[in-house]
Amino acid sequence: MAEVYLTPEGRKELDDKLSYLKNIRRTEIAELISEARGQGDLSENAEYDAAKELQAKNEYEIAELEAMLKNAIVIGSEVSAKNTVAVGSTVTLRHKEMKREFEYQIVGAAEADPFKGRISNNSPVGAALIGHKVGETVEVNTPGGIVHFSIKAVKD
C-alpha cells in the first residue's frame, strides 16, 4: 500500500474506528454468530450465514485500516514552506473564468470530502496546486477542461 497522508484529526478518527471495530464490533458479531449457532442446523441457517458475512466484512475493514495506518504520514505545518501549498494547507483560490473564490484544505485521499472543502492531494486540482505559492496562477487539467486558479492565500 502506498503512503497515506492524514491530518492529526484524521489519524485519530481512523484509530478510533479501528478500536471500535476490533473491541466492540467483533464482540457484537461473535454474539450474533453464537445466537445463530444455537438455532440448530448451520447448513440452512440464514442468520448464521449473515453473521459470518458481517464478520468477514469487519475483518476486511480492520485489515484495510491497519494497512492504512501502518503507511500513514501525519501532516502538520512543518510540511510546507510559508505561503507554499502542501498537503495539510488550506488554500484560498480565485477561479479566473468564473470569477469566484473557493477555499479548500489539501488532504490525503483517505480524508477527502469535496462537500466539506477537503480535496485530495491526488485530485487534479490538489495535485496541480502542490508546491505553488501565493500569487501564482495554476493551470489545472480537469475532466471538464482546463481551468485557471490564482492562489490568494495559504494557511497551514
Residue 24: which domain range?
Answer: 4-74
Q: By mean pLDDT, which of 7-16, 64-73, 76-85 is the weakest? A: 76-85
- Do 94 and 145 sit in the same domain of this protein? yes
Residue 56 scores a pLDDT above 60 = yes
pLDDT over 70 percentage in the chain? 96
Higher pLDDT, 110 or 55: 55
pLDDT for 43 equals 74
For 109-129, how does the pLDDT look when each residue is reduced to its tens digit (9 = 90+)? 889 999 999 999 999 999 999
Split into its structural domains, the chain has a count of: 2
We report the CATH number of the domain holding residue 35 as 1.10.287.180
Domain stops at, among 54, 74, 94 = 74
Phi, psi of 134 (to 5 degrees): -55, 135
* DSSP code at position 40: S
Q: For 20-32, give one letter per residue: b (16+ CB within 10 A) or e.
A: ebeeebeeebeeb
In this structure, which amino acid lies at residue 79? V
For 79-95, how does the pLDDT look when each residue is reduced to its tens digit (9 = 90+)? 456 788 988 899 999 99
We report the CATH number of the domain holding residue 116 as 3.10.50.30
